[in-house]
Amino acid sequence: MKSGYDYLAVRAHIHSKNRQPTITIANRKLTIGNTPEARVIFRLFAVILLAGPALAQNVVHYTTTNDNVKYVFATAEPVARLKPGDILDTNTLDCFGNGLKKPGDTLSMAKGDNPLAGPFYVEGAEAGDTLTVKILDLQVDGDMGIGAFSPGFGAINGSHYTPVLEPPLKERVWFYPIDHAAKTATFKALDSDFSVKIPVHPFFGCIGVAPADSEARSSLVPAEFGGNMDSPEASVGNTVYFPVNVKGGLLYLGDGHAAMGDGEIAGSAVEVPLKARLQLGVIKGRKISWPQFESDDAIMTVGAYRPLEDAVRIGYTELVAWIHRDYGLSNLDAYELLSKVGKIHMNEMVDPNYVVVTSVEKKYLPPKKQP
C-alpha cells in the first residue's frame, strides 16, 4: 500500500522581453497574449499554482491478492487508512478468486466465494455517521469473464430451501471474452453455436461495511451493512452511502461484475476482477439504517430480505424517510408521490436475502433542503 498526490503541474510567468503572459502545463509553454482578458486568465492560473498543494488529493494505492482477501464483513484490522476526501486506487478479484482460467475448469478450482478487498478505515467515521463512497472509475481487469451454474443455487431451480423432486441440474461454466474497445462481453452457448455480444457495465457485486453488534457476516449475504447486494447501481458516477457501525466504517469491496440481468437468476453475473478508483468521505451525524445510492438524476434505497415483498417494503420505507428528511415532504405526501413515480429494480433473488433498489428521479422532488 502506498499513497501520493495527484494534481496538475502548472507554472505561470510573464515573458521577460515582451511581457506576454505564458502558462506552462506538463512542460509545454502556451503564450496567451497581452489583452486584459489574457491577463485575467494568467492571474487565475497563478492562483491555481499557489493553491496547488491545498487542492491536491491524497491517493492511497492497495493491491488485493488471494493472500490478503477476506471472506466475511466484520470488524478486523484495516489494510489501509484514509482521510475523508482521499482517493482509493485498488483492485478486486472475481467471485472465484480468479481461479477459473479456461474451458474445462470447474467450480472446485475456485479459491473461495466472493473474496473481499479491505477493510479500509476512514478517519473520523463513527457509529451514527454515514460513510460515502463515490465511484470514480471501474475497469474490467482481464480479458475473460466467467458465468457459472452451481447445483442448488438459482432462482428457478430446486435448492435447499425450495426442494423439488426432480434431480438437480448439473454444474456448467461459461466463458465470456471481453472486448475492451467495444465494451462488450460475448455469450457463447455451450449446447449450440449461438453467440451474442452483451454491453459491459462494470459494478461491484459486493460492497459494504462492518456490521453492527460485532457480527461477522458471510460475503454471500446482503443486509443492512451492504454486502453481496449485486446492485448494478454500484457503478461509475454514483455515490453509495452506508451506515457506520464501528469506528472507521471498515469498507470492503469485491465480486466484480461486467454485466448482469435483473434477478441474477442462474446465480452468477459475468464475473470479473476489477480495477477501481473511489473517493471516500464521511457525513457526520447523518444516521441511516440501510445503504443508499445517489446519481445526478435519482436517489435510491436498498431493501434486502426474504420474502421479496419485505425487501420492497424496506426499500420504499427508507426512500420515504430520505425524501422527508432531505426534501421536506411529509411522509404521507412522499408515500403518495412514490405511488405514482417510484421505481423498483430487482437486483437479485438467489442469495440468502433478496435485494431490490427502490428509486425516484430528482425531477419529481422539491429542491433539496440546505444543511
> Is 74 a member of any domain?
yes
Task: Tell me: do 43 and 67 sit in the same domain.
Answer: no
Query: Given this model, what pLDDT does residue 44 score?
Result: 56
Q: Are residues 46 and 87 in the same domain?
A: no
Same domain, 44 and 76: no
pLDDT tops 70 at residue 142: yes
> What's the count of helices (H) and strands (E) in the chain, helices before strands?
3, 25
Q: What percent of the chain has pLDDT over 90?
A: 81
What confidence category does residue 371 fall into, taking pLDDT thresholds of 50, 70 and 90? Answer: confident
Query: Given a cut of 60, is residue 45 above it in pLDDT?
Result: no
Q: Which three cell numbers stand for residue 127?
A: 457509529
Number of structural domains found in the chain: 2
- 71 and 49 co-located in one domain: no
Tell whether 189 and 266 lie within a shared domain: yes
Together in a domain, 85 and 190: yes
CB 114 within 8 A of CB 228: yes
> What is the pLDDT at residue 77?
98
Mean of the per-residue pLDDT values of the chain:
90
Q: Are residues 105 and 9 in the same domain?
A: no
Higher-pLDDT residue of 353 and 53 is 353
**DSSP codes, 25-87:** ETTEEEE--SSHHHHHHHHHHHHHHHHHHHH-EEEEE----TTT-BSEE-----SEEE-TT-E
Domain with 124 in it:
59-294
Residue 205: which region, alpha, beta or left (left: phi > 0; alpha: psi -120 to 50)? alpha
Q: Which of 320, 132, 160 is nearest to 226 (CA)?
A: 132
**pLDDT tens, position by position, 191-228:** 999 999 999 999 999 999 999 999 999 999 999 999 99
Decide which of 48 and 267 is more confident: 267
Report the C-alpha gap between 78 and 84 in whole angstroms. Answer: 16
Same-domain check for residues 213 and 113: yes
pLDDT at 17: 43
Which of 272, 245, 294 lies closest to 119, judged by CA? Answer: 245
Average pLDDT over residues 170-183: 98
In a domain, 132, yes or no: yes
Tell whether 140 is covered by a domain: yes
The answer to whether residue 346 is domain-embedded is no
Q: Single out the residue in 294, 313, 341 at which a domain terminates.
A: 294
- Confidence band for 5, pLDDT divided at 50, 70 and 90: very low
- List pLDDT tens digits, range 301-331: 999 999 999 999 999 999 999 999 999 999 9
Q: Are residues 202 and 152 in the same domain?
A: yes
Q: Are strands 116-122 and 80-82 parallel, antiparallel or unpaired?
A: parallel
Decide if 136 contacts 104 (C-beta within 8 A). Answer: no
User: How big, in percent rounded to 5, are the helix, strand and coil portions of the chain?
Assistant: 15, 40, 45
Domain presence at residue 129: yes
pLDDT of the residue at 51: 44
| pLDDT recorded at residue 15 | 44
pLDDT computed for residue 29 by the predictor = 52
- For residues 253 and 40, what is the distance between their CA atoms, to the nearest angstrom? 45
- Between CA 199 and CA 181, with CA 237 as vertex, the angle to 5 degrees is 35
Collapsing DSSP states into helix, strand and coil, what is residue 322?
A: helix
Q: In 3-state terms, what secondary structure has residue 21?
A: strand
Q: Domain end: 40, 55, 70, which one? A: 55
* CB neighbour list of residue 37: distance below 8 Å, 6 or more residues apart: none
- What global pTM score does this model have? 0.85
Distance of alpha carbon 302 from alpha carbon 324, whole angstroms: 17
DSSP, residue by residue, 245-293? -STT--EEEEEEES---TB-TTS--SB--EEEEEEEEEETT---SS-EE
Q: Which of 368, 139, 132, 143 is nearest to 240 (CA)?
A: 132
Average pLDDT over residues 173-181: 98
For 233-283, the pLDDT digits (tens) are 999 999 999 999 999 999 999 999 999 999 999 999 999 999 999 999 999
33 and 177 share one domain = no
Q: How far apart are CA 297 and CA 288, in angstroms?
A: 21
Shared-domain flag, residues 231 and 251: yes
End position of a domain, from candidates 240, 274, 294: 294
Could you tell me if 225 and 249 are in contact, meaning their C-beta atoms sit under 8 angstroms apart? no
* Residue 327 domain-assigned (yes or no): no
Same domain, 27 and 78: no
Q: Which residue has the higher pLDDT, 120 or 370?
A: 120
Query: 302 or 33, which is more confident?
Result: 302
**155 in any annotated domain:** yes
Annotate 53-90 with b (16+ C-beta within 10 A) or e (fewer): eeeeeebbebebeeeebbbbbbbeebbbebebebbbbb
Residue 152 covered by a domain: yes
Spatial distance between the Cα atoms of 110 and 116, rounded to a whole number of angstroms = 14
Q: The domain that contains 199 carries what CATH number? A: 2.60.120.580
